[in-house]
Amino acid sequence: MDVSLRDQFKKANLLSDKDARRLAHEARVERSEKGQQQLDQDEQRRQQELVKQQDAERQRTAKEQQQLQAQRKAEEEVAAVDAILATECRRAGTGPAKFYFEAEDGSLPWLELSPRDAQQVAGGMLCIVRAGPRGTHDYKLLATELARRVAKVRPEVIAFAPRGVVS
């Protein structure tokens, strides 16, 4: 049930009968002057324009979906890293070995480590992460594989990692 705009205006009393007849006559004259071939070309042009608009809308929607998906994935990764920091980090076992490292503020904090932990930190199997807020010297140990993942999202948490282990 396709009602023309002219009929809608007439029904709403925005267009008088005389004006409606005049517009209908002008439309008939225009159709007869253009001929069927020109009318078909105009219709084809309108269809092409409609297809272009639909494609543009589809592309815009797809781009928005990709952005939302990327944002959701980033939020999930941040939550996963926070969970790793909460569950996978462990306190250094006390022992005779003192492991010194340079903090980003230039200080030289140290951890008392068991010989095994000291060997793993020096060998690149464990990294040292900050457990408290910046400026505090509260550190924990984290496996290198997990530290790489943490470094991508929250690099400020990594206090020490052997060269080349965490980029």
At residue 101, the 3 state secondary structure works out as coil
The candidate with the shortest Cα–Cα distance to 127, out of 158, 150, 106, 100, is: 158
Do both 104 and 154 map to the same domain?
Answer: yes
Count structural domains, the chain. 2
Do both 57 and 103 map to the same domain?
Answer: no
What are the tens digits of pLDDT across the range 11-68? Answer: 887 778 888 888 888 888 877 777 777 778 888 999 999 999 999 999 999 999 999 9
Q: Give the global pTM.
A: 0.61
For residue 71, being part of any structural domain is answered with: no
pLDDT at 165: 74
Q: Phi and psi at residue 11, in whole multiples of 5°? A: -65, -35
Q: Phi and psi at residue 133, in whole multiples of 5°? A: -70, 165
For residue 89, being part of any structural domain is answered with: no
For residue 128, being part of any structural domain is answered with: yes
Residues spanned by the domain of 33: 6-61
For residue 114, being part of any structural domain is answered with: yes
Place of tokens 């809308």: 57
